[in-house]
Structure 1
Amino acid sequence: MFNLFKKKKEEKHRGDQYLSLKVREIVKETSDTVSVFFEQPEPFLEYKPGQYLTVILDLGGKEVRRSYSLCTSPFVDPHPGISVKRVEGGLVSNYFNDQLRPGKTIEIMKPLGHFTTDFHSKNKRHFVMIAGGSGITPIMGIAKSALINEPESKVTILYCSRSEDQIIFKNQLEKLQDQYASRFRVVHNLSQPTSSWTGLKGRLDSNKVKDTLTNILASDTNPLYFVCGPEGMMETAIQALESMGMPKELILKESFFTDIDAKEATLKASGKLSPELTREIEVIVNGESHRFEVPAGKTILEAGLDLDVDMPYSCQSGLCTSCRGKLISGKVDMIEDAGLSESEIAEGYILCCSSKPASSDIKIIIE
């Protein structure tokens, strides 16, 4: 009887964070990118434009999780959708591009993420968005939401792709330009265009960002910046914006990749990490306490999963915040905190996937 009660309790907690979605339609965006649209569950899936969801698949007898940004707008699109770009050797991205079919039911973790904003019909803003490759995915949802909710606001996208046939959402972007001619603009930059291409070409650099945006922003007083794409492109774009005097708090960024091992090595070499020791900690997940040891060198998440503690997670690289918990006592070394806002860090939140114990009195609450 106790085991049955415990199982039902675990299923209830899991239901608070997880749900199943049925694939409605799969759209081929480019040769290596598909958009997957889901049937709306009951009740409707709630999300903010720019957020991501985590898919959970059983592939080859092993559970795998990946986070993908929603490309849809809850204010415009009837069905939520994600876009998945093929990654060489990528287990999940290749499955989505080659094997997934309509009718399949997929388990997900409910949407999360801070790469978003609130909208109001009285706002008069300029959404300035710089995207590269699949970084256009969350940008699309935010752009459509801004255009429909804020009739006095404008949207400009500087979008970097490899070639003409690799422009994700090409048709959708063209339709938005036709529909919102005076309020929506896309400037494409191609790194490997055909000889007939007359637009921006080559690698994105600071001068291109400045030249493209200076005239566009000349008469604007209320811009808001969104940057998403490959790490190098994002660094270039953010540095250019900051050199133009754009306040840091007006620049929102979303990273899809980070080399957490390299960052840890750098921190270790500079003496900024505590000695790696085996420590016992307490983690409270949805009200249930778990005490366990974290072996030297392992993260809190790794140790918990090794012991079958049902801790939420996805990217395991410090970006998605699925494993976010609040540090009630003790100290940790957090290798990567890119997924957290400054206010969250100040409030004591940590990412279990990139945190290692640095003291012996650690208590973490995950809700």
Structure 2
Amino acid sequence: MGTQQLNLNPTEQSASGSYRLQVCAVIDETADARSLVFDVPESLRERFRYKPGQFLSFRVPCAGKLLTRCYSMASSPVCDARPKVTIKRVDGGRVSNWMNQQVQVGDWLEVLPPAGHFHLDERQADNERPLVLFGGGSGITPVFSILKSSLQTSARPIKLIYANRDEASVIFRDELRQLAKANPERLEVVHILDSVQGFLTDAQVRQLVRGHSAGDYFICGPGPFMDTVESTLLALGEAAVRIHVERFVSPPDPDEVLAQEALARAAAADSACEALIVELDGQRHEIACRPGDTLLQSCKAAGLEVPFSCEEGFCGACMCTIQEGETQLARNDVLSAKELAEGWTLACQSRPTGARVRLKFPD
């Protein structure tokens, strides 16, 4: 595995949808986690504008394959000049170990534009609800972006509950200490160490959120950690709409993606869609749909500039709602059961299964 050198101008988009960004700083956070800071050319600033809590996806060459991995930005668009992702090494992780061991200042990486729905609603930045953040291990990354941004853009009280294996595993320890010292009236940071208190329990969650009811909750970390926090908050009667959970999975290798794509296309090949109606930016378009094509493929073929990024079903950039008709979703690593029930789908993974389908992209 090595840094791929492309014969592209940094402002040009590659065939895989990525752009080239240069690493301008490397920060060793802990023994098994480091941050990479990127220089974004002026011509790409708008394309790489992001919201607190979003992530970047990387295309990394490995053994003849182009692997895709997502890493959240620990930087804040409000108070940090450049985007910064933080990567924790995973046992056997091909990309995370390479990022930690090999990438250096000056290297160029293939990066997809920011994506993700785990972020602050900027329209509600001025509300007074408590902001309660739960970070587990490297799950602190998007939570830290949200924390720093909210300190700058609102007067909301903020509480961070941060769980780690031990004290040496605490990422951003010094920065968190400084922020808490600078904002004693607004920010409270609580550390939970497995080596001291054990794994976080529902009883501890109940105690930690006491006095912070009816807040906005953001949760990111290991699966059991997030499940414990989310289920406890729901049991306490907190509104599901204000509980935000970020779940990351590693996308399959390209050959697996191609095999899944072939199966999904074959399954939908007999479905003839006579009318595909797309509502985008307040306008209505009726476009053609070839048998087996995804909603996104049909939109792109018709020249519609719909939102998308990875085209592999894990970033959520192409989320849209099915207003009419039936579709079949091939791969989904993003949408919750609740979102599926509400009619959300992924345009890059969804294919029409009826004669008439109407979809709407968020305004």
- TM-score by shorter chain over 0.5: yes
TM-score category, normalised to shorter length: 0.7 to 0.9
Determine if contact 1:334/1:351 at 8 Å carries over to the other structure: no
CA RMSD, Structure 1 to Structure 2 (Å): 4.0
Written as runs of structure 1 = structure 2, the 5 A alignment for 1:42-121 is: 42-43=42-43, 44=45, 45-119=48-122
Matched residue type, 2:346: I
**1:321 alignment counterpart:** 316
**Structure 1 unaligned regions, length at least 5:** 1-10, 261-273, 302-310
Alpha-carbon distance in structure 1 between the residues aligned to 2:74 and 2:52? 8
Q: Cα distance, 1:20 vs. partner?
A: 2.1
Instruction: Single out whichever of 336-345 and 28-37 deviates more from structure 2.
Output: 336-345
Q: Name the SS of the counterpart of 2:216 in structure 1.
A: strand
TM-score normalised according to structure 2 size: 0.73
Equivalent residue runs for 1:200-211 within 5 Å: 201-211=197-207
User: 1:65 touches 1:315 (CA, 8 Å); kept in 2?
Assistant: no
Question: Structure 1 residue 258: deviation in Å?
Answer: 8.6
**Could you tell me which residue of structure 2 aligns to residue 279 of structure 1?**
269
**Amino acid of the structure 1 residue aligned with 2:27:** V
SS of 1:136's equivalent? Answer: helix
CA distance in 1, matches of 2:326, 2:85: 38
* Consecutive unaligned residues in structure 2, runs of 5 or more: 1-10, 253-263, 278-284, 297-306
| TM-score, with length taken from structure 1 | 0.73
1:146 corresponding residue in structure 2? 150
Residue number in structure 2 paired with 1:8: none
Q: Deviations over 1:119-171 (max 9, x none)?
A: 46743231101111111110000000000111x21111111111110111111
| Corresponding position of 2:33 | 33
Aligned to 2:233: 241
Q: Distance in 1 between matches of 2:186 and 2:246?
A: 24
Percent of paired sites with the same residue: 30
Partners of 1:259 and 1:56 lie apart in 2 by 11
* 1:252 and 2:247 correspond: no
C-alpha deviation, 1:116, in angstroms: 1.0
Partner residue, 1:128: 132
CA distance in 1, matches of 2:251, 2:12: 35
Q: Tell me: CA distance 1:162–1:315, structure 2 relative to 1, closer, same or farther (3 Å).
A: farther
Structure 2: distance between partners of 1:163 and 1:300: 46
Deviations 1:38-80 (A, max 9, x none): 1132142300000111111223332111111111100011110
Distance 2:41 2:233 in 1: 40
Distance 1:47-1:16 versus aligned 2 partners, 3 A rule: farther
Aligned residue among 308, 325, 331 for 2:327: 331
Q: Structure 1 64/103 Cα, relative in aligned 2: closer, same or farther at 3 Å?
A: same
Cα distance in 2 for partners of 1:366, 1:41 equals: 29
When residues 232 and 30 of structure 1 are mapped into structure 2, their CA distance, relative to the original with a 3 A threshold, is same
State the secondary structure of the residue aligned to 1:37.
strand
Which residue in 2 is equivalent to 1:268? none
Q: Secondary structure at the match of 1:106?
A: strand
Cα distance change, pair 26–259 in 1 and its aligned pair in 2 (3 A): closer
- The alpha-carbon distance between structure 1 residues 323 and 348, as it changes in their structure 2 partners (threshold 3 A), is closer
